[in-house]
Chains A and B, each alone.
Chain A
Amino acid sequence: MDELRMTDKKFWPPRFRKWSRRERENFKIGMLFLLPWTIGFLAFTLYPMLASLVYSFAVYHARQPLEWVGLKNYIDLFQDDLFWTALYNTLYMVVIGVPLTLLASFFCAILLNLKVRGQAFYRVVYFLPSIVPTVASTILWLWILNPQAGILNTVLGYVGIHGPNWMSNPAWSKPGLIMLGLWGMGNTIIIYLSGLQDVSVSLLEAAELDGANWWQRLWHVTVPMVSPITLFNLITGVIAMFQYFAQAYVFRGFQNLGYPLNSTLFYSVLLYQNAFQWLKMGYASAMAWVLFIIILVCTLALLKVSDKFTYYAG
């Protein structure tokens, strides 16, 4: 077998050769250490991945046998109004929610990087909401956004603004969820803060000596210096937002998924609904693969575009 592979130039991997005894020994030890991951990868990643790819070409109602339908699921998907609604809702969150979160986190990180006393206390205050469990924080915000007894509309009332019906008005449900996200953005703030602390002081001082004001130093020194962190936060934020689920699931209260008027029907919510409420496992698998491809394409596109906007020091 090995002889055959060695002579076959086209065979992959290209530089295949017989391992020495030592290499074989090392490989054995290495694989023993890797055993937990290997089993986990095969059983909980590779197998389900292939299985869902197979299901996506079939009609599959859990306990009944598979029925092959070829590309039908994918074709149906693109003709499904709910799919487009869910995609629109998800893109709304990705396009508005993620950049807003980045901007707000960067701003908060700048505040928390100011040289003032008691900064440790402020940092805890800004960070604490991000460790409140998702279900708890979502319920808390439902209470805050409550149109009658909620404090948000009360506080808005102090300044003369008549707050909307956050949970039952389809135009305001997504902004409400974005606000919930902003409340728990502590992680992003911390990552930005550690980036700000790495910005070289000498560079900022040099800019100051050259007569750059605060804004110019921020825009021309700090922002480029933390641009790799912005890229990281952007990509992880986009990936997470495409999978947005728990908050939306809790947010509708006792109403149907997507309440009000499918305005919180996000991609993963629709996928869950198809798979576990309507038991359309094949259709949901097709949705999952489309999601995977969307995420891949977005990530690669962001990486490609970021070449122009990201500065790597050193």
Chain B
Amino acid sequence: MTTIPAQYPDPRLTQSEEARQRARRKGIRNFFKSLSSHALISFFGLFFLVPFLWMLITAFKSNEDVFHTPPRWLPYDNVRVVVNGQELPLYNVITPQGEKQLAAVKIVEGVGTFVDPLHPDQVQEYEIQQGETKIATPVMHVSFRWQNFPDAMNRASRPSVNASFWVYFKNSLIIAFFTIIGTLLSNAPVAYAFARLKFPGRDALFVIVLATMMLPYQVTMIPLYLFFNNILHWGDTFLPIIVPAFFANAYDVFLLRQFFRTIPEEMCDAARVDGASEWQIFTRLVIPLSVPVLATVTVFTFLWAWNDFTGPLLFLTSPKNFTMALGLQDFQSQRTLVWNQLMAAATVFTIPIVVAFFFAQKTFIQGIKLTGSKE
């Protein structure tokens, strides 16, 4: 058999063909790789996302829908129709003439008074429960009940209390505001001294600062409680929560010091040569350069003050002084729970932080990294 000389194609062509195939294979592989990555991240992301959404969904549910079993993923509300100028809930009623959609005028002690929306003059009465079967069931449709939010904010954490969640919201804002002011005013100079001033005893004092981070709040809690309540008579005021913020704390001192140390020493020295005092260097040079880190401190102080539960729990006793955290806890400790309003109040409590997060996302992440992983 004679071998037919193979017709070799242009080698450059083969190569490009092979390369194209390889590239395609690689493309397909990458596609599946990224698809599986997305699937994995989304799957575990559900654990973080769904509870968050559930809070919002519940906040929009009607009272009839909150305890529906099994729970429904969207908020439902009773369909309402206007009969004789009145807005009435619509029910599916099994009447002797068959199933009908009737509007309920009132339901008292298991007996419902219904009217047919088509014949508004015919009033019919039925027992809701006849043996095992339920005669009347509300007609539901997907509907977001915005009214839950004003309802939740206008109510107090418990009945017979002359305060509302608006008051708690305002109290939380006041406390957060003064805590931020105090933190910014008091921590910066202390951090500057530890970062840039040279004086005997500085490093020993800084070790003490760091050591106080180790001290659990429980150790100082009881004497502070007695001191503020029995000696200063600040019980049931915001002062025991706000005033300590004006006297620096280890975390913010540490955070600010780390940042101040990154400001070139030469700049400070140049200012010193020009005859600037340390206070002038601090206020005119260091502070303007530190706006980003001061923003971080502001955001985190807000987060901390807004979130704080133990401080208000110890010192605030009358409901008119409650913060959102305390009010929500008090609301939740009632025997009958209105979950949709509770979730609406919790949402309102969360919104300021989420808003702060979206405005200062970089600051958030930076702050966590600064206090966390570095050094």
**In the complex, B45 has a CB within 8 A of chain A:** yes
| Count of A-B residue pairs with CB < 8 Å | 265
Query: Besides A40-B246, A246-B310, A288-B218, 13 other CB < 8 A contacts?
Result: A30-B201, A34-B193, A36-B185, A36-B186, A129-B48, A134-B325, A135-B324, A140-B54, A143-B55, A143-B342, A150-B71, A154-B70, A253-B332
Q: What's the least CB distance linking A96 to chain B, in Å?
A: 18
Q: What's the least CB distance linking B31 to chain A, in Å?
A: 11
Bound state CA distance, A40 and B245, in angstroms?
Answer: 9
**In the complex, B306 has a CB within 8 A of chain A:** yes
Which residues on A sit within 8 Å (CB–CB) of B263? Answer: none
Bound state CA distance, A125 and B41, in angstroms?
Answer: 10
**In the complex, A26 has a CB within 8 A of chain B:** yes
Which one, A36, A45, A245, contacts B246 given CB within 8 A?
A36
Query: What are 23 A-B residue pairs whose CB atoms fall within 8 Å in the complex?
Result: A26-B200, A33-B190, A36-B189, A40-B186, A45-B215, A47-B227, A48-B222, A52-B220, A52-B223, A126-B48, A133-B324, A133-B325, A135-B309, A135-B325, A135-B328, A136-B350, A194-B369, A253-B332, A275-B225, A284-B222, A288-B216, A288-B221, A292-B218
**In the complex, B353 has a CB within 8 A of chain A:** yes
**In the complex, B226 has a CB within 8 A of chain A:** yes
Which one, A55, A125, A142, contacts B223 given CB within 8 A?
A55
Which residues on B sit within 8 Å (CB–CB) of A311? Answer: none
* Chain A residue, CB-CB nearest to B358: A124
**In the complex, A221 has a CB within 8 A of chain B:** no
**In the complex, B192 has a CB within 8 A of chain A:** yes
The DSSP consensus for interface residues of chain A is: helix
A:140-159 near B, CB below 8 Å: 140-144, 148-151, 154, 157
Which one, A23, A157, A191, A249, contacts B313 given CB within 8 A?
A249
**In the complex, A281 has a CB within 8 A of chain B:** yes
Which one, A108, A116, A149, A183, contacts B68 given CB within 8 A?
A149
A40 touches B325 (CB 8 A): no
B333 touches A253 (CB 8 A): yes
**In the complex, A37 has a CB within 8 A of chain B:** yes
B44 touches A111 (CB 8 A): yes
**In the complex, B40 has a CB within 8 A of chain A:** yes
**In the complex, B162 has a CB within 8 A of chain A:** no
B353 touches A131 (CB 8 A): yes
B197 touches A291 (CB 8 A): no
Which residues on A sit within 8 Å (CB–CB) of B350? Answer: 131-133, 136
**In the complex, B49 has a CB within 8 A of chain A:** yes
Q: Which 5 residue pairs are nearest across A and B when measured between Cβ atoms?
A: A40-B247, A30-B199, A33-B193, A51-B223, A48-B223
Which residue, of B58, B199, B324, B333, has the highest number of chain A Cβ atoms within 10 A?
A: B199
**In the complex, A264 has a CB within 8 A of chain B:** no
Q: What's the least CB distance linking B50 to chain A, in Å?
A: 7
The DSSP consensus for interface residues of chain B is: helix
Which residues on A sit within 8 Å (CB–CB) of B329? Answer: 135, 139, 249-250
Which residues on B sit within 8 Å (CB–CB) of A253? Answer: 332-333
Q: What's the least CB distance linking B326 to chain A, in Å?
A: 8
**In the complex, B92 has a CB within 8 A of chain A:** no
A41 touches B212 (CB 8 A): yes
Bound state CA distance, A171 and B167, in angstroms?
Answer: 39
Which one, B49, B197, B244, contacts A26 given CB within 8 A?
B197
Which residues on A sit within 8 Å (CB–CB) of B246? Answer: 36, 40
B54 touches A144 (CB 8 A): yes
Encode A28-53 as 1/0 by CB contact (under 8 A) with B: 01110111110111011101110110
A36 touches B190 (CB 8 A): yes
* Chain B residue, CB-CB nearest to A275: B222
Encode A275-288 as 1/0 by CB contact (under 8 A) with B: 11000010011011
B44 touches A190 (CB 8 A): no
* Chain B residue, CB-CB nearest to A43: B247
Q: What's the least CB distance linking B307 to chain A, in Å?
A: 5
B200 touches A23 (CB 8 A): yes
Which one, B44, B58, B70, B230, contacts A62 given CB within 8 A?
B230
Bound state CA distance, A139 and B201, in angstroms?
Answer: 48
Bound state CA distance, A284 and B226, in angstroms?
Answer: 13
